[in-house]
Structure 1
Amino acid sequence: MAQSIEAHDLNIYYGKFLAVSEVNLTIAPRSVTAFIGPSGCGKSTVLRTLNRMHEVIAGARVEGTVLLDGEDIYDNRVDPVDVRRTVGMVFQRPNPFPTMSIYDNVVAGLKLQNGRTKKADLDTVVERSLRGANLWEEVKDRLAKPGSGLSGGQQQRLCIARAIAVEPAVLLMDEPCSALDPISTLAIEDLIQQLKTKYTIVIVTHNMQQAARVSERTAFFNLAGIGRPGQLVEMDDTQTIFSNPSDRRTEDYISGRFG
């Protein structure tokens, strides 16, 4: 199920402004890769190019190549909706559909994708997805209740359940713990470790301790200067990035000299 990602000579624009330049990276399947760096350096922008979410912004465009298991997702023959189904996304703040029940939140994407589906099949997907998000035991007796009635950490796990219900190959997570308390953050981090056995996971985080805890590889992004594009400074095994980075800028950021 999990798939590899490669980006080659990736340039990302907002209108005429070059936001991120010359990104080259490889992400292995069934692994966790963390994107770190100061605010405004392009981490989330790069993340959104990996499932073609960037282009929903008016005037935004991408140059270069993004390969998902060898297939260019920006090829004119590729449907971006299919890409976003294969590469799911979990956002910074939990965003369950407020008028929907827990049950309907989980199957919302599946219904959109498949139309009419047997109730028994939906029941199976709901239980499998909620178990996959470590939420089943907490909500199995109140599936008809609104998803918005859950705690923040539970809502985020509900959003993860919704994302995995359509059986993606990749999960992108844009600061998924930034709005959560420490206990909920730990629950999400534990869940990430379990999910990586099935999915390729890329997480943007400002929490360097979190990056060190959950990821096998880390990519450090930085700004070339005020008004200049963001850039990928280096990418390596997480242990190497945090103990012996090859670029002084990475060391300065890790040690807290800036950012």
Structure 2
Amino acid sequence: MAKRIEVAGLTAYYGSHKAIDDITLHVEPRSVTAFIGPSGCGKSTFLRTLNRMHEVTPGGRVAGKVLLDEEDLYGPGVDPVAVRRTIGMVFQRPNPFPTMSIYDNVAAGLRLNGRRYRKAELDDIVEQNLRGANLWNEVKDRLGRPGSGLSGGQQQRLCIARATAVSPDVLLMDEPCSALDPISTLAIEDLIDQLKAEYTIVIVTHNMQQAARVSDRTAFFNLAAVGEPGRLIEVDETEKIFSNPSVRATEDYISGRFG
């Protein structure tokens, strides 16, 4: 079930370095929110705080709150592994498990969660999620072959099927199309549009046309200078951000005057 994300006063650090500062925003369920802004402004760092991936990095820590439908994801006793199961992540470069078959890539998360599945049940889940990723017809006759043998665009859709197979509430996507050709990019964008009927989706993208095409809301991040922490400058409906932003810096970035 898709859930709402509420972030309040979030600051993230790498050791003593403050990477992002005092970010407050909400993400509506069953919607796509895009993060845009110049390189190094903290978009991906912020994305990784939403499912506690940030703290996997040595020295990574946060202050502030991330709520998923009222539950504080950084609260005492909260299991980060359980958080990452609830809030899935699709990375910049497709990363299927290289020694696993297409089938086993999709089933991997299910096998890790401790529950035993009957073969027929697992077959159904694998097929359902490959269909959901618009990949089933392309791979149904070679499910036993390595996932790494697929094209880049197919691998990324396989990674999306792997992420959805464990039934998360939220899908985070960190520049999921940056390593892909235009046709594969279009396939992923079409897929995002379909997935938002079921999931809350947050996507980091350097491609502003992509943000305009796929997202309902857009958040613009920037930093005052190199070495300064990234900050959220403005967040609003995507149409407004791209046609009539409230902040001059947003307009300057979108129009190409910097970035």
Per the alignment, residue 104 of structure 1 pairs with 104
Per the alignment, residue 19 of structure 2 pairs with 19
Amino acid at match of 1:117: Y
Q: Is residue 41 from structure 1 mapped to residue 47 from structure 2 by the alignment?
A: no
Cα-to-partner distance string for 1:28-75 (whole Å, 9 max, x where unaligned): 000000000000000000000000000001111000000001110000
Q: What does 1:131-142 align with in structure 2 at a 5 Å threshold?
A: 131-142=131-142
Q: Is residue 195 from structure 1 mapped to residue 195 from structure 2 by the alignment?
A: yes
1 CA distance for matches of 2:122 and 2:225?
A: 50
Amino acid at match of 2:50: L
Across the aligned residues of Structure 1 and Structure 2, the Cα RMSD in angstroms comes to 0.6
Deviation at 1:114, TM superposition (A): 2.7
The DSSP-based 3-state class of the residue aligned with 2:113 is helix
Q: What does 1:61-210 align with in structure 2 at a 5 Å threshold?
A: 61-210=61-210
Cα-to-partner distance string for 1:89-117 (whole Å, 9 max, x where unaligned): 00000000111000000000110013532
Cα-to-partner distance string for 1:107-163 (whole Å, 9 max, x where unaligned): 001100135321111101100110110101111111001101100000000000000
The DSSP-based 3-state class of the residue aligned with 2:232 is strand
Task: Indicate the percent of aligned positions where both proteins have the same amino acid.
Answer: 75
TM-score by length of 1: 0.99
2 CA distance for matches of 1:26 and 1:240?
A: 17
Deviation at 1:226, TM superposition (A): 2.1
1 CA distance for matches of 2:6 and 2:178?
A: 27
The DSSP-based 3-state class of the residue aligned with 2:242 is helix
1 CA distance for matches of 2:226 and 2:161?
A: 39
2 CA distance for matches of 1:233 and 1:176?
A: 23
Amino acid at match of 1:111: R
TM-score by length of 2: 0.99
2 CA distance for matches of 1:217 and 1:173?
A: 15
Runs of at least 5 residues in structure 1 that lack an aligned partner in the other structure: none
Per the alignment, residue 242 of structure 1 pairs with 242
2 CA distance for matches of 1:93 and 1:111?
A: 24
2 CA distance for matches of 1:143 and 1:227?
A: 47
Cα-to-partner distance string for 1:203-245 (whole Å, 9 max, x where unaligned): 0000000000000000000012122110000000000000100
Runs of at least 5 residues in structure 2 that lack an aligned partner in the other structure: none
Amino acid at match of 1:85: R
2 CA distance for matches of 1:226 and 1:124?
A: 50
Amino acid at match of 1:48: R
Per the alignment, residue 2 of structure 1 pairs with 2
Per the alignment, residue 254 of structure 2 pairs with 254
2 CA distance for matches of 1:105 and 1:186?
A: 23
